[in-house]
Amino acid sequence: MPTTYIMPPAVHNQIVSAAYRKRGFTAEEAEAAARFSQITAWHGIKTHNAIKALHLDEHFGSKAGGCVPGARIEKLPSKYRAVQKWNANRKLGQAVAFEAMNTAMQLADEFGVGVVAVDNAFHYLWGGGYVIDAAQKGYIAYTCCTAALAEVVPFGGKYPTLGTNPHSWAFPTQDAIGYPICIDWATSTVAMGRVQQFAREGKPLPPGCAVDEHGNPTTDPNKVKALLPFGQHKGYGLSLIDELYAAFIGGSLPTIRNRWDKVPPGEKGTCCFFFQCIRPDAISCDNFAQGRSQIQNVKKVLEDILGHGNESCMLPGQIEAQGAALSQKHGGLLFTRAEIDEFVKIAREGGVAFDPATLKSVEL
């Protein structure tokens, strides 16, 4: 069984925050980055933790011009009171996303629903973290974004012109089942972060996920040049939704996004975000069978779905809830040896003294 190392959240956040501060980000931005990375690790998310976040910033962010430390959000005029429109000015994606989701919740408190559209953004990483946080506060939440790069081949094509383009929903079902249901996925068969994780761990990819530089199928994560959409035409359509949202918001050509050596004058290479929160009572028609309350009705619906011999089926969000429970049980964030080795490098960058020998470990 693999050895897993337990990192106290305070140690993790100090390391991550220091690395962002070293790169010129403000204390507020560094805190948002560390908080977000803690949420991902707490829920057992390996594809979008601090290692991925700093890798993204390294290659496409503050060192490439795609993300501007200390940038300020410009809140644009909107004739719709339940909708806000922002120009993020390439501010750190995690900081923008936390503020946007909080704003969507505030709008929902007033209008029943709240929407925030964000232009000129830098990628916010794992959308599930933001919607789970909102669902835990009682909201039905949704977000989508255009991924950092066009890495996905459209169904029937051969050249990557789409992002991995995730969709993330969460529902406040903790009173019904103990945790928020979270439906969150990249629209590619796997996320590029998963490819990077498998490369770190020396593991092959499942068949049907990716192609090499010649367009041939490959399971070697080190040879991956492009990804395939999940569900063929269905994943393609879902990926297209993100690109269309972005196109309506202000996003430009996917194939030059974050490829700063290929963005011509007058074009845009930034990402776009979309956030929506709904108050559950705002959509209740108050006519639940057998006199049930809204949450009792939700619970009954889920019981019916998981009944009839389906009792062993999992609900979306259950894996993340189990990850959080495991972190809670062991009192910290759980990382592999390969991940700890990466944190040693991150700590060195930020000038933080970090000795992995001080960490407790557990066999999982």
**Strand 3-7 with 360-363, pairing:** antiparallel
Phi, psi of 67, deg, nearest 5:
-130, 135
H-type helices in 250-336, by residue range?
294-305, 318-330
Confidence of residue 270 (pLDDT cuts 50, 70, 90): very high
Its pTM stands at: 0.93
pLDDT of residue 35 exceeding 70: yes
| H or E segment and range at residue 121 | strand 113-121
| H or E segment and range at residue 247 | helix 233-249
C-alpha 82/C-alpha 104 separation (Å) is 8
State mean pLDDT over 58-84: 96
pLDDT, tens only, 174-228: 999 999 999 999 999 887 778 988 998 899 999 989 988 888 889 999 999 899 9
State mean pLDDT over 133-148: 97
Q: Determine contact, residues 154/162, Cβ cutoff 8 Å.
A: yes
For residue 176, what are the contacts with CB-CB under 8 A and spacing of at least 6?
295, 296, 298, 299, 302
Q: Which residue(s) pair with 82 in the sheet?
A: none
**In angstroms, how far is CA 356 from the centroid of its own chain?**
27
What secondary structure does DSSP assign to 53-105, as a single string?
HHHHHHHHSTTTTSS-TT---EEE--S-TTEEEEE-TT--HHHHHHHHHHHHH
Tell me what pLDDT residue 253 has: 97
pLDDT of residue 146 exceeding 70: yes
Tokens of 185: 């996925």
Q: Determine contact, residues 162/148, Cβ cutoff 8 Å.
A: no
State mean pLDDT over 334-363: 96
State mean pLDDT over 44-67: 93
Angle 93-111/27-42 helices, nearest 10 degrees?
80
C-alpha 248/C-alpha 239 separation (Å) is 15
Single-letter residue type at 354: F
C-alpha 245/C-alpha 313 separation (Å) is 33
pLDDT, tens only, 285-321: 999 999 999 999 999 999 999 999 999 999 999 999 9
Q: Which residue(s) pair with 273 in the sheet?
A: 118, 145
pLDDT, tens only, 274-285: 999 999 999 999
C-alpha 190/C-alpha 166 separation (Å) is 11
Q: b or e along 198-235 (b: 16 or more beta carbons within 10 Å of the residue's beta carbon)?
A: bbbeeeebeeebbbeeeeeebeebeebebbbbbeeeeb
Tell me what pLDDT residue 200 has: 86
Q: Report the percentage of the chain scoring pLDDT > 90.
A: 88
Tell me what pLDDT residue 213 has: 85
Tell me what pLDDT residue 215 has: 81
pLDDT of residue 1 exceeding 60: no
Tell me what pLDDT residue 300 has: 98
DSSP structural state of residue 261: T
Residue 71 has a CB neighbour count (10 Å cut-off) of 20
Tell me what pLDDT residue 123 has: 95
C-alpha 305/C-alpha 43 separation (Å) is 25
Confidence of residue 364 (pLDDT cuts 50, 70, 90): confident
Phi, psi of 333, deg, nearest 5:
-90, 135
Tokens of 99: 């503020």
**Strand 83-87 with 113-121, pairing:** parallel
C-alpha 252/C-alpha 272 separation (Å) is 9
State mean pLDDT over 115-141: 98
Tell me what pLDDT residue 181 has: 98
Tell me what pLDDT residue 2 has: 78
Tokens of 334: 């759980």
Mean pLDDT over each residue of the chain, to the nearest integer:
95
C-alpha 146/C-alpha 194 separation (Å) is 18
Q: Please choose, from the candidates 329, 345, 280, the residue with its C-alpha nearest in 3D space to the C-alpha of residue 4.
A: 329
Tell me what pLDDT residue 197 has: 85
